[in-house]
Amino acid sequence: MHSDLSRLIELDRERKRIAHIGAILGWDQETCMPPKAVDERSEQLALIESLAHEKSVRPEIGELLLRLGSTSANPSGDSSLDQIERAYLRVLRRAWDRDTKLPADLVAEFARAVSLGQAAWVEAKKNNDFPAFAPHLEKILGLIRRQAACLDPGKGAYDVLLDLYEPGSTEASVAAIFSRLRKDLVGILTKIRSRPQIDDSILHETVGEARQKAGSDWIMDLLDFDRGRGRLDISAHPFTTTLGVDDVRITTRYIPDYYPSSLFSTMHETGHALYELGIAPGPDFQGTELAEAASMAVHESQSRFWENMVGRGDAFWKRNFRHLAELVSPALDGVRREDFVRAINRVAPSFIRTEADEVTYGLHIILRFELESDLVSGRLAVPDLPAAWKVKARELLGLEVRDDVHGCLQDVHWSAGLFGYFPSYALGNLYAAQFATAMRKDLPDFDDRISAGDTASILGWLREKVHASGSTWLPSELIERVTGSALDPSHFVAYLEGKYSRIYGY
């Protein structure tokens, strides 16, 4: 390997290592830190973040990238390099541009604005007081637009933001996918609403924490989560975090009268963790920028594949229902497997995105995508957001939003400055379904394998096709390579149609 490239990898690994140390502090804060330690911890995190930033913007990285021929216009560098080396330069150039193009004063002002914005959002949500949050949102949007202009003055601000989470995507490309998806989701929802609703009260029996924990451990083992390379803990909101090449942590929470929450969030986070643990672009690139996920949406495809396409499927419970019933006994005593599977797949429009089912979830995201792109572009003024939300909720979900707590104040993302992130959630479902279609061609006995407890061959397929390459390919390249075509919502729609026409009998 070229010595400039080896040096670049060395510098890159150092910045990743510091980021992982920061992640350990963050993980600890969410899982076991005593509450009074919070002030000092935020100082520690700020210090680590500034060290990581220093390492990321070392001039030597920029010089090495240039020497290897990598520029913003030609990120992959010299054509004489290997394909994987060129992929590496592309992702590192991308990270370098992102980290160096923003002036320090803008970064600091943004950090302050989102810190104040989040505190204001918490209060506003508590008091259902959107006007108290509005000036913060205005401020954050102004800074977001300035950031986008620094990153790429030649592109629309929302395009620049989308590209941060889903490289290569644009407002037009996402809008084209979502307009098809919207029509189909509304169609499925209309058919479901014409049928008698499913009663899911059987899921609301009380199950103690120890038995829910045993359930989560069991799920992790069923899905082949290597405990030698990760662990499960408890936090207020479930998450996955990577602390190193061989250390991926997941969390869950135990709600006493709703054990499916921990069961399915453990499957979801295990899906994220399996992806992280499966990234292996080759020994030369372990622990580098190339060993990152292809995108947020591809990440979400892995969590949703295991949670919904495997974990909420009848095939999975054919094998596992009896054991679950023993674990949560007497909560499922006398309940038939078929009724359990129907209950965990109940579809009903609801106000809160995080509680949404597989069908309505995408509609929640489309609503946010349409509103946030309008906010960023200035087509929608901040004071008009609550009313615009209500109109869209009626159109998309058939719901009358009664207050902003159940509307535009429910999510943390905008107060945290995360504009452009929401689409990843819905795109994740589309990737998952399209990967699953390709997988069923290679493994036509997919359902039988799951009923037989053979999830290992499914994980093996995902590792080889999706996980291993990390960010070697743009998401659009990855989906083409794995499935032979561009991202297409019809796979997800067909999956939903097949599943819910059976469940609701339409």
Judged by the rule CB under 5 A, the positions of this chain that interact with Co ion are: 303
- Cβ neighbors of 364 (< 8 A, separation 6 or more) are 353, 356, 397
In the block, which residue shows the tokens 């609703």? Answer: 197
Alpha-helical regions (H) of 279-357: 296-304, 314-328, 337-343
Q: How far is the CB of 165 from Co ion (least distance, A)?
A: 13
Q: Which residue is nearest to Co ion (CB)?
A: 303
Nearer to Co ion, 147 or 424 (CB): 424
- Shortest reach from residue 66's CB to Co ion, in Å: 37
Distance CA 339, CA 288 (A): 47
CB of 299 to Co ion, least distance (A): 7
| Closer of 288 and 303 to Co ion (Cβ) | 303
Minimum gap (Å) between residue 416 Cβ and Co ion:
16
Cβ closest to Co ion, residue 77 vs residue 428: 428
Whichever of 303 and 373 has its CB closer to Co ion, that residue is 303
Task: Give the integer Cα–Cα distance in Å for 250 and 264.
Answer: 13
- Catalytic pick among 269, 276, 300, 370: 269
Question: In whole angstroms, what is the distance from residue 120 CA to residue 132 CA?
Answer: 7
CB nearer Co ion, residue 303 or residue 472: 303
For residue 446, give the nearest of 269, 314, 338 by alpha carbon.
314
Which ranges in 241-313 belong to alpha helices (H)? 260-278, 296-304
CB of 277 to Co ion, least distance (A): 15
| Closest CB 16 distance from Co ion, rounded Å | 22
CB atoms within 10 A of CB 127: 12
269 catalytically annotated: yes
Helix/strand/coil for 496: helix
From CA 367, how far away is CA 353, in angstroms rounded?
10
Both structure tokens of 159:
């395009």
Q: Which residues make beta-bridge pairs with 250?
A: 232, 240
Q: Label the pairing between strands 230-234 and 240-244.
A: unpaired
49 is written with which tokens? 């973040």
Omega of the bond leading into 423 within 30 degrees of 0 (cis): no
Per the DSSP assignment, residues forming a β-bridge with 230 are: 248
The smaller minimum CB distance to Co ion, of residues 147 and 242, is found at 242
Catalytic residues: 269
